[in-house]
């Protein structure tokens, strides 16, 4: 049974009926908004604020603006599993399907203790603008389960994923909503979802992307977000008469995105001077040996204890001296409390919504150039699109084709964003938002609302 939670906030004060949302039931649930912790703004408030600024720059009709802001459907499910010791554990799973004007909704599933409805909502909305910026035929969605995957065994994670898939299988599908990995999930998670979905609907590899290659995953998907970050950074630096080679990078997060970005950037001559993950942070002003660090992180489940650098306080990673800062972990990490201490000239947002609007203002006054998430990390969803296309075609591309096509999409995306910056005399974030929102608005108007 689907239950939709309407989460009211100061920027979205509309009354909606179940029939308008496509939900079975809408609960006006009072204030379920996650309280912003410390200096960090609530993710949904921050995302709505950026959307509103873009809508204003575009001169969007206020009724259309309202319709674009309200999510298509919000799903909240209870997931109870027996743990390995026989006791029961209950978790809450979410899937927010934000918009489908341009195609099936698309976005990752996150397993993290901080997953909450407003954050998933914000991430789903960002996916809508991201797929439009990338110009791939999708809408936006995001999901998550509030859990700590590090504290669950593989068999517990499998049971949790299968229960979640059982609860949402009717609402996802090749032409409706196509999940993928995000923080705390990966190819194995997608394999379990595919298997569970197939029990109800028949074998359907295109229902998820980011799958293992043996189940129809695309070559190059694993590295795609990091590779997209590399291509995006190259495009930005070219504008400033620079190349990757010799630039000093700091990377927060050494998971799928951070580790691939570090590897690919260092292969191009970039110097990674500091990285961090949940276990700690490590610094070497001469440049970390990334292949050795990757080996260490794999063997020790984190960067802590790596001998090729000095340990530093993970809290200081974002304000370390460097040319280019790449947040590749959680949202809201760059906020009004640390923005003025940031020393880099460029920030490449590999993570989703790492920078608060308040920090944006502070950084803009300092002349820091920010390449926004909805463009900078779009390489992952772009190769997910290639995977979906390959599954539907029943034909596998070689990795060179995947990477070349990704480069084409990222290069074209950067040009399109810059064009919007010129048209609206705005920064790169608003360039990307106006590009994405405008494309979705056009599709919405063209499809109409029925007679
Ligand atoms: N995977 C993808 O294709 C895409 C991901 N993204 C975004 O990129 C970001 C990273 O995702 P992904 O790499 O897939 O996730 P992973 O789970 O693979 O990696 C996350 C990394 O962040 C680290 N981390 C978690 N909390 C903290 C913290 N408080 N301080 C420092 N590091 C921390 C984790 O450490 P540890 O492993 O030790 O827990 C891990 O190294 C997210 O914002 C995600 O939404 C965006 C587009 C696509
Ligand atoms: O690959 C995908 O479909 C989605 C990736 C994702 O969740 C993201 O871009 O934030």
| pLDDT of the residue at 451 | 67
Instruction: Please say if the pLDDT value at position 6 is more than 90.
Output: no
| pLDDT of the residue at 91 | 98
Is residue 51 helix, strand or coil?
helix
Is the C-beta atom of 228 inside 6 A of ligand 2? Answer: no
Nearest to 193 by CA among 166, 214, 221: 166
| pLDDT of the residue at 83 | 98
How many angstroms separate the alpha carbon of residue 331 from the centre of ligand 1?
A: 10
Query: Relative to the CA of 353, which ligand 1 atom is closest?
Result: 43
How does pLDDT run across 114-172, given as a tens digit for each residue? 999 999 999 999 999 999 999 999 999 999 999 999 999 999 999 999 999 999 999 99
Inter-helix orientation angle 399-424/379-393, to 10° = 130
pTM attached to this predicted model: 0.92
Q: Which of 349, 384, 385 to mutate to test the pocket of ligand 2 (most atoms within 8 A of CB)?
A: 384
How many angstroms separate the alpha carbon of residue 230 from the centre of ligand 2?
A: 17
Annotated binding residue at 225?
A: yes
Round the average pLDDT of the chain to a whole number and report it.
Answer: 92
Q: How many helices (H) and strands (E) does the chain have?
A: 14, 14
Q: Which of 149, 306, 328, 384 to mutate to test the pocket of ligand 1 (most atoms within 8 A of CB)?
A: 328
Annotated binding residue at 283?
A: no
How many angstroms separate the alpha carbon of residue 254 from the centre of ligand 1?
A: 7
How does pLDDT run across 33-89, given as a tens digit for each residue? 344 457 889 999 999 999 999 999 999 999 999 999 999 999 999 999 999 999 999
Nearest to 385 by CA among 188, 172, 221, 192: 221
At 27, the pLDDT band (50, 70, 90 cuts) reads: very low
Annotated binding residue at 130?
A: yes
Structural tokens at position 115: 């997953």
Instruction: Please say if the pLDDT value at position 19 is more than 70.
Output: no
| pLDDT of the residue at 4 | 34
At 304, the pLDDT band (50, 70, 90 cuts) reads: very high
Integer Cα distance of 245 and 205 in angstroms: 40
Instruction: Please say if the pLDDT value at position 408 is more than 90.
Output: yes
Catalogue all structural domains in the chain, each as residue range(s) with its CATH number: 31-55+68-206 (3.40.50.10860), 225-376 (3.40.50.720)
At 450, the pLDDT band (50, 70, 90 cuts) reads: confident
Integer Cα distance of 441 and 56 in angstroms: 13
Verify whether residue 142 is a known catalytic residue: yes
Task: Enter the ipTM.
Answer: 0.98
Integer Cα distance of 371 and 374 in angstroms: 9
Annotated catalytic residue, options 76, 142, 211, 283? 142
How does pLDDT run across 219-276, given as a tens digit for each residue? 999 999 999 999 999 999 999 999 999 999 999 999 999 999 999 999 999 999 999 9
Is residue 323 helix, strand or coil?
coil
Nearest to 73 by CA among 48, 98, 93, 106: 98
Chain-centre distance for alpha carbon 257: 10
């Amino acid at each position: 049974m689907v239950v939709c939670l309407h989460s009211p906030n100061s920027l979205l004060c509309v009354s909606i009926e179940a029939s308008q949302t496509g939900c079975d039931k809408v609960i006006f649930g009072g204030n379920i908004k996650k309280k912003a912790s410390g200096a960090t703004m609530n993710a949904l408030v921050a995302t709505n604020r950026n959307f509103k600024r873009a809508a204003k720059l575009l001169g969007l009709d206020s009724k259309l603006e309202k319709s674009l802001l309200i999510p298509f459907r919000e799903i909240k499910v209870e997931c109870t599993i027996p743990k390995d010791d026989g006791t029961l554990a209950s978790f809450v799973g979410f899937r927010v399907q934000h918009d489908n004007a341009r195609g099936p909704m698309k976005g990752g599933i996150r397993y993290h203790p901080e997953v909450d409805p407003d954050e998933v909502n914000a991430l789903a909305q960002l996916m809508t603008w991201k797929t439009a910026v990338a110009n791939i035929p999708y809408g936006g969605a995001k999901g998550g389960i509030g859990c700590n995957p590090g504290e669950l065994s593989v068999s517990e994670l499998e049971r949790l994923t299968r229960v979640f898939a059982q609860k949402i299988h009717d609402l996802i599908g090749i032409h409706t909503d196509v999940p993928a990995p995000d923080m705390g999930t990966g190819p194995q998670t997608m394999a379990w979802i595919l298997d569970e979905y197939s029990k109800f609907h028949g074998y359907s590899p295109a229902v998820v992307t980011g799958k293992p290659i043996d189940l129809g995953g695309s070559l190059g998907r694993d590295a795609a977000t990091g590779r997209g970050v590399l291509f995006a950074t190259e495009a930005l630096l070219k504008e400033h008469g620079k190349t990757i080679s010799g630039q000093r990078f700091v990377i927060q997060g050494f998971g799928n995105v951070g580790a691939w970005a570090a590897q690919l950037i260092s292969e191009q001559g970039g110097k990674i001077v500091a990285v961090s993950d949940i276990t700690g942070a490590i610094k070497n002003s001469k440049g970390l040996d990334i292949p050795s660090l990757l080996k260490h992180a794999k063997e020790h489940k984190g960067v802590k204890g790596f001998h090729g650098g000095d340990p530093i306080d993970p809290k200081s990673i974002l304000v370390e001296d460097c040319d280019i800062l790449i947040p590749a972990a959680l949202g809201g990490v760059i906020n009004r409390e640390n923005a003025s201490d940031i020393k880099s000239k460029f920030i490449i947002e590999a993570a989703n919504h790492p920078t608060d609007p308040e920090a944006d203002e502070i950084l803009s006054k300092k002349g820091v150039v920010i390449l926004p998430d909805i463009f900078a990390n779009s390489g992952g969803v772009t190769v997910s699109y290639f995977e979906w296309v390959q599954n539907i075609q029943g034909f596998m591309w070689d990795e060179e084709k995947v990477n070349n096509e990704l480069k084409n999409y990222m290069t074209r995306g950067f040009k399109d964003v810059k064009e919007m910056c010129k048209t609206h005399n705005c920064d790169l974030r608003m360039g990307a938002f106006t590009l994405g929102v405008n494309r979705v608005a056009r599709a919405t108007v063209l499809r109409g609302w029925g007679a």
